[in-house]
Structure 1
Amino acid sequence: MHLQQTKRASRGTGGPQYYFHDLTDPVKTFLRKKGAVRVALVTPYGATKSEYFAVSADRKLDGTKLPVAGGVGHDRIQQGLAAESIGESIRIWYQLAPGDFERINVDLEIRDDVFYLTPLGFKYANRPKTKVIPRIDRPLTFTSTYASPFWIEQMVYMNKQKPGIVGWALDEICRVVKDHLPSTRLKHIQEPDLLRVSGPLKHLGISLGGYVGKGYDCVTEFRFRNLPAYSIPVEIKRDSAGFHYQQRKYGKEELSRAVVLCAIHKHKQMPFHIDVIELGALCAHAQKFPSSGRI
């Protein structure tokens, strides 16, 4: 599947548009039935909230963003509520060079009646080569069994920016985790105590939001390397096995996308779209980053 950019020479009449080509039968059938489907762009961090619309060839969007009869003749992505076109958004998130796209290779997954669109590669107009966009599964996950390359790159990046800061942050995380492990657990310690890692995590590129205790515990901002900031709900758990989100969402307009921040990861069947940050696994990684001993 791919998106073809059109209207490259007529930005004054609405800017570039993006037509679908080679849609799979399940995707095409779903789009024809619905007329218009929200599109969530998958970024290097994972999916963003769905602000774009895939619109069927025989429909258009009215002023309230509902599908009505239309005659464009192409399945396409419309900007909808987003601030820029889908192509420009892909360029921003993946830090691609300026230039008009000829095509963007994509993967589409239907989840919760939303199209999750993952860019896989791109070709600029008047340039011969198609370039691949790396795809990382579970990009925000760091556990004892799987550490995302995205996470590793971030820690190396932060340590270059300020040598020793990653080691200091991981040492501080070790200090907090110790109070929650079965063998060294403090009597009567509570789950929200894990929020003591907010300072060290800030130095790793994670800004924990306020602990609200209803729905998800805190909406959190990730800023890895020099990418745009990414907001996502975070659930605080001593042990990830206590996470029971599974198949439901908090709020009609929310994606099935979240991060579990825990001291210990023992969840056996975590949904694929839920990332896990195991503080104990970060602590175990501390030996790879010598600490400066101070900030």
Structure 2
Amino acid sequence: MHLQQTKRGSRETGGPQYYFHDLTEDVSHYLRLKRAVPVALVTPYGATPSKFMAISKDAKLSSERKVIQGSVGHDRIQQAAAGESIGEAIRRWYNLPSGDFERIDVEIDTLDEEFYLIPVGYKYAVQSRRAVIKRPEFPLSFTDEKQSQLWRKQLRHVKDRHPEMWRWSLHEICRVAAAHTKGSGVANVDEKDLLRASGPLSVMGVELGPYVKKGYDCEGKFQFLDFEPYDVPVEIKKASSDFKYQQKRYSPEQLSRVVILCVKHNLVNVPPNVDVVELQALCSAQHH
């Protein structure tokens, strides 16, 4: 599947538009059925909500953004209430160079009644070669079993730039994790105690907001490498197996996207769109 950029020379009349080509049968059928499907853009960090809409070739959005009969003749991504085109959003999130896209290769997953749009390659109009974008796979996970490339690069980046803060942060993370292990000598430690790691985590590029009683536990902000900041709900758990898929507790506008912050990762079959940050695994990173 790919998006074809049109109107490259007509930015004054609305800017670049993007038509779908070679949609899979299931995606095409779903789009015909719904006529308009919200789009969640998958970034280097994972999925993020957007204002983009996938529109069927026989539909369009009215000025009130209602789906009505249309005759464009192309399945497409419409800017809708977004402040930029889908191509510009992809360029911004992935730090791609400026220029007009000829095509953007994509994959689409249907979750939460939305199209999760995953860029996997692109070609500029003035270039002959196609460039590849690596599909993120659990991009914010750092556990004994799974240490994402994004996390590894970020840890190296912090270690190279701020070696003393890197050592202090991991020492503090180890100290917090140790208080939750057997034999620590501390009884009845609450899971909220993990928020003591918020200071050292901020050095690593992870900010945790206030702990709240309704919905997700707190809002997280990840700022890795040269990428833009990424907001995502965070659930605080002693063990990742304590996590229950809590999408029904979230507002309808939110994706089923969450990061679990835990001491020990023991959740079997982590759901799609869920990442796990294991403090014990981060503690071990100081020895690598």
- Would the alpha carbon gap of residues 2 and 17 (structure 1) be closer, same or farther in structure 2, given more than 3 Å must change? same
In structure 1, distance between residues paired with 2:185 and 2:37:
48
Displacement after TM superposition at 1:64 (Å): 3.0
In structure 1, distance between residues paired with 2:247 and 2:45:
21
What residue ranges of structure 2 are gaps of 5+ in the alignment?
Answer: none
In structure 2, distance between residues paired with 1:192 and 1:145:
24
Displacement after TM superposition at 1:272 (Å): 1.9
Contact 1:42/1:116 (CA < 8 Å) preserved in 2? yes
Q: RMSD between aligned alpha carbons? A: 1.2
Displacement after TM superposition at 1:183 (Å): 2.7
Secondary structure of the corresponding residue to residue 285 of structure 1: helix
Aligned to 1:291: none
Mapped pair 1:196 → 2:196: yes
Matching of residues 159-174 of structure 1 within 5 Å: 159-174=159-174
Aligned to 2:40: 40
Aligned to 1:257: 257
Displacement after TM superposition at 1:249 (Å): 5.2
Displacement after TM superposition at 1:244 (Å): 0.7
Aligned to 1:141: 141
1:232-279 CA distances to partner (integer Å, 9 max, x unpaired)? Answer: 000000111111126645111110100000011111222121100000
In structure 1, distance between residues paired with 2:249 and 2:57:
31
Secondary structure of the corresponding residue to residue 147 of structure 2: coil
Identity over the aligned pairs, expressed in percent? 51
Aligned to 1:276: 276
Q: Which amino acid aligns with 2:266?
A: K
1:12-59 CA distances to partner (integer Å, 9 max, x unpaired)? Answer: 100000000000010001001111000100000000013210000010
Displacement after TM superposition at 1:109 (Å): 0.7
Q: Which amino acid aligns with 1:91?
A: R
Q: Which amino acid aligns with 2:71?
A: G
Mapped pair 1:26 → 2:13: no
In structure 2, distance between residues paired with 1:185 and 1:52:
52
In structure 1, distance between residues paired with 2:128 and 2:172:
50
Aligned to 2:8: 8
Aligned to 1:72: 72
Matching of residues 32-181 of structure 1 within 5 Å: 32-181=32-181
Displacement after TM superposition at 1:184 (Å): 1.6
Contact 2:46/2:136 (CA < 8 Å) preserved in 1? no
1:174-202 CA distances to partner (integer Å, 9 max, x unpaired)? Answer: 00110001232511211111100000000
- Would the alpha carbon gap of residues 33 and 287 (structure 1) be closer, same or farther in structure 2, given more than 3 Å must change? same
Q: TM-score, normalised by structure 1?
A: 0.95
Contact 2:223/2:230 (CA < 8 Å) preserved in 1? yes
Displacement after TM superposition at 1:134 (Å): 1.5
Secondary structure of the corresponding residue to residue 216 of structure 2: coil
Q: TM-score, normalised by structure 2?
A: 0.97
Displacement after TM superposition at 1:136 (Å): 2.7
Displacement after TM superposition at 1:225 (Å): 0.5
